[in-house]
Amino acid sequence: MNEDTSIKEKINVGINVSLVLNKFKNALSKLERVVGSRSTLPILNNILIKVHKGGVELLATDLEVGIKFNLGGKVEKEGSITIPGRTLINLVDNLYGDTIQLSSKNNILTLISGDSKANINGMPADEFPVIPEVEVGKKVTLDTQVFKSMLSQVEFSASSEESRPILTGVYMISGNGSLTLVATDSYRLSETVIKNGLGEEFNVVIPVKTLQEVRRMADEDASFELVVGENQVMFVFKDAKLVSRIIEGDYPNYKQIIPSKSSTIAELDVQEFIDNLKTAHIFSVEGSHSVKLNVKPEGLVEITSESSQLGNFSAKLKAEVKGEGGEISFNARYLLDGLNSFETPRCTLGIESRSNPGVLKPSNVDGRVYIVMPLKQ
Amino acid sequence: MNEDTSIKEKINVGINVSLVLNKFKNALSKLERVVGSRSTLPILNNILIKVHKGGVELLATDLEVGIKFNLGGKVEKEGSITIPGRTLINLVDNLYGDTIQLSSKNNILTLISGDSKANINGMPADEFPVIPEVEVGKKVTLDTQVFKSMLSQVEFSASSEESRPILTGVYMISGNGSLTLVATDSYRLSETVIKNGLGEEFNVVIPVKTLQEVRRMADEDASFELVVGENQVMFVFKDAKLVSRIIEGDYPNYKQIIPSKSSTIAELDVQEFIDNLKTAHIFSVEGSHSVKLNVKPEGLVEITSESSQLGNFSAKLKAEVKGEGGEISFNARYLLDGLNSFETPRCTLGIESRSNPGVLKPSNVDGRVYIVMPLKQ
């Protein structure tokens, strides 16, 4: 069997294009989490390959997020085909060589790279859903590093429960030269603000999952563009576009739950605080995750926790305390989530009473606040 | 409340000892996998702390494997207590400081380290099972690195099915100045032999789980001692002893299934072989994991696989071939397991017929062989 001649003969219908293998690999890896594996709509398990004059488009969607890559390539024949995404991704991930040739006939995609050849059973392209681009909208350019950093400061506070969909997103507010990101599950809230000098005014609630994909997509670009349309947002990267639904509805008026002042403020070492909360959590993990903080004006914060079954724990942490001090209980996990998002060596904890929310802030950083609701003692 | 005085007053019954925190942490981390978390015998979820004149003993057992650490310490009061292992391990892992003080009263263990203090509810020590040491047996000293390397060359071939218990262990044969390790699940077999100059003659089947613990325990010692007793083996480390049951029964006469010769031998690049088997496996993963190898005397090995649902794959690998060549099918996972255990850039594949086992060996290495049963085509 002489593969080379027989392959060339076959390619008389369908697509035919050669492209750089590494670019193809990279694009497929970015599509991985959007491609379904057991979708009830089988076409969503597929990747659409569209060959046009300028090169190759790769598309995947889960109907909430759609991603479209645009890769260059040496085009012999235009056309399109859809292919089971997992199979394609796993296959191409293990191939090597400089270029890969894609050709198709009768809905079978043939991939040739080096001395390897695979045929994958595909489906006609016309069943694949359209991923509509956002043509009209407000546009801002975002710095990738800044955006990734802001996102990791808030995303963990979003809710994972679908009962209040609006809380499963990140609230993004642009205007007056600043950009604000907020997330809350109603038990705790993260807000981060930067001055970016952009005048474009909009506010929009974007699903956390979308933003996590944006983080992955943005990896190689220094900046990217966000276009906020009527019902959708679009993120524009060098080689790709990501289109996502917006979460409909009014975001809660979160500003009103951020305490305007705290009568007691303690400044602590972040890592020491984290370590001792983790230890305290061992004894509260079975119940409410409750740990008690006792802020003492003489300059310490005592952390205690107790389990009737396991035992109890107490630790004294040095702190700079302003105010009268006081005792308050929190869910240890929520405190830890907030502290783990701080990049500073020290932080402040503000408390007002047993029933008012606690306020955590990284020391000497503007624009960051983390609010935690107290637990009843 | 002045903790320091009240603690000192309390310690009038039970143990009291101070020890180096890091040594305590390290020992606990080694006990982690032997301590039960949901054992039907609750005492097996515990760690036994025994304070004697010379220091502290820490013991844990799952009745198959028992581990006993012997740590130095400043002993104030001898005695013993058992404590829920997970709670103790999690707690101590998060503590810092140089030393930790352990004291007990009324079956409550108090741990003090720096400004942290915990009380853990324990149980009386007398319920804890005895871990008998192997007093009489054949002794050999094993080099840690050599042993770990030999173990990783064979352990993956052992069976995980309890239907034939003897195959869930690693067969260890010592005598005539060499040490042999063998494992098989009857579908494939690994053998590794080293000349270690030791004359002690024994053969014993040791559970894979035991040997995996031995690997973790041996981490800090250059060598350790193995004592083979009547029904148990004991591994002796600097600070610890591990006692394990032996798997009873006769190990199969494995030598007879290792082919004495192969009429066709192909030498290949290991990494290229691995990569292409992985790719071929994508198309066979749903069924038998079957890949077909076609060894061609002109100097190549063709790998092919096919799935009626997904598609098919073929790759040609350059090889140095001796003999007539031939075609044979294997389970791709078994080939990959063997190849992944090779540390050499090249390997040889020996085949005799479609129904005889294949023989994989790392090139230019003595004492290693990996046998794989063929699949029917």
Q: Is the pLDDT of residue A3 over 60?
A: no
What is chain A's mean pLDDT, rounded?
93
**Nearest Cα to A325, choosing from A264, A259, A377, A273?**
A264
pLDDT category at B219 given cuts 50, 70, 90 is confident
Q: What is the largest CA-CA distance in chain A?
A: 88
CB < 8 Å to A90, chain B: 282
Give me the residues paired with residue A17 across strands: A75, A102
Compute the average pLDDT of residues B216-231: 94
Q: Which two tokens stand for residue A30?
A: 């970015």
How close A149 gets to chain B, by Cα (Å)?
27
A97 Cβ under 8 Å from any chain B Cβ: no
CB < 8 Å to A120, chain B: 310-311
Q: Is the pLDDT of residue B281 over 80?
A: yes
Query: What pLDDT, on a 0 to 100 scale, did the predictor assign at position B1?
Result: 40
Query: What pLDDT, on a 0 to 100 scale, did the predictor assign at position B101?
Result: 97
How close A279 gets to chain B, by Cα (Å)?
6
How many CB atoms neighbour CB B13 within 10 A?
Answer: 12
Q: Please give the Cα distance from A51 to A184 (Å, whole number).
A: 43
Least confident stretch, A255-264, A267-276, A285-294, B235-244? A285-294
Q: Is the pLDDT of residue A231 over 50?
A: yes
pTM: 0.89
pLDDT category at A285 given cuts 50, 70, 90 is confident
pLDDT category at A13 given cuts 50, 70, 90 is low
Interacting residues of B163 by C-beta distance below 8 A, sequence separation 6+: none
Compute the average pLDDT of residues A238-245: 96
Q: Is the pLDDT of residue B285 over 80?
A: no
Give me the residues paired with residue B138 across strands: B228
**Share of residues in chain A with pLDDT > 90 (%):** 86
Q: Determine, for residues B116 and A278 on separate chains, whether the beta-carbon distance falls below 8 Å.
A: no
Contact status, residue B150 vs residue B343, Cβ threshold 8 Å = no
Element (H, E) at B278: helix B270-282
pLDDT tens profile B154-164: 999 999 999 99
CB < 8 Å to B116, chain A: 276, 279, 313-316
Interacting residues of A212 by C-beta distance below 8 A, sequence separation 6+: A155
Q: CA of B120: which chain A residue's CA is closest?
A: A311
Q: Determine, for residues A311 and B90 on separate chains, whether the beta-carbon distance falls below 8 Å.
A: no
pLDDT category at A198 given cuts 50, 70, 90 is confident
Query: What pLDDT, on a 0 to 100 scale, did the predictor assign at position A29?
Result: 95
What number of CA atoms fall less than 13 Å from residue A305's CA on the CB side? 28
Distance of alpha carbon B220 from its chain centroid, rounded? 16
CB < 8 Å to B115, chain A: 315-317
Interface mutation vs chain A, best among B108, B115, B307, most A CBs within 10 Å: B115
Compute the average pLDDT of residues B256-285: 94
Q: Is A122 helix (H, G, I), strand (E, B) or coil?
A: coil
Q: Determine, for residues B313 and A90 on separate chains, whether the beta-carbon distance falls below 8 Å.
A: no
Strands B326-331 and B320-322: unpaired
Q: CA of B283: which chain A residue's CA is closest?
A: A87
| Axis-axis angle for helices B208-217, B144-154 (nearest 10) | 150
CB < 8 Å to B276, chain A: 94, 116
CB < 8 Å to B108, chain A: 311
Query: What pLDDT, on a 0 to 100 scale, did the predictor assign at position B292?
Result: 97
How close B229 gets to chain A, by Cα (Å)?
39
What's the start-to-end Cα distance of chain A, in Å? 79
How many CB atoms neighbour CB B4 within 10 A?
Answer: 9
Q: CA of A87: which chain B residue's CA is closest?
A: B282
| Axis-axis angle for helices B270-282, B332-340 (nearest 10) | 150
